[in-house]
Amino acid sequence: MDEIDRNITVALQQDGSAGLAELAKVAGLSVSATAERVKRLEERGVIRGWRADLDPVHAGCPLLVHLLLAVGAGKEDAAFRRALKKWDQVLECHAVTGGWTYLLKLRLADLAALEAFLQEELRPLCQRVETLLAYATLKETAILPVAPADPEE
């Protein structure tokens, strides 16, 4: 990405509803040139989508939970990966190093919803589960630290 693309992506992360005229000012380009840049960023997969950033409490899922899972290899892992696709409460799933297979980030309504998810969905698929309840969130963001522009571009 060059400096113009970087400026556009940083601005869009701060305000995804910014109009093309606002972005054009940030980019130092015309509105049509800025629109073309945004389109190319989408085509290249730099911009993966457009969505609203919802407050978890108002969305009905105030409970933040991280889970460490140990899943067996082969068929057990394949079954877990298939099931993962249908779990809306799982916001993130990362394959990790060490004694665990995956780290999950969940948003749920309450402890009863967590207990149901653990008992009905995870326990049959996992060898071990460690639950980490967040009692306070000091920082939570989806804004990426966009790397400086490549001087070669």
Q: Mind listing the domains of the chain with CATH numbers?
A: 3-43 (1.10.10.10), 63-133 (3.30.70.920)
| CA 41 from centre of chain | 18
Q: pLDDT (tens digit, 9 = 90+) per residue, 44-57?
A: 999 999 988 999 99
Q: Report the phi/psi class of residue 53: left, alpha or beta, with left for phi > 0 and alpha for psi in -120 to 50.
A: beta
Q: Are 23 and 34 in contact (CB under 8 A)?
A: yes
Q: Give pLDDT, residue 151.
A: 74
The contacts of residue 21 (CB under 8 Å, 6+ apart) are 31
Q: pLDDT (tens digit, 9 = 90+) per residue, 10-51?
A: 999 999 999 999 999 999 999 999 999 999 999 999 999 998
Q: How far apart are CA 132 and CA 105, in angstroms?
A: 10
pTM: 0.85
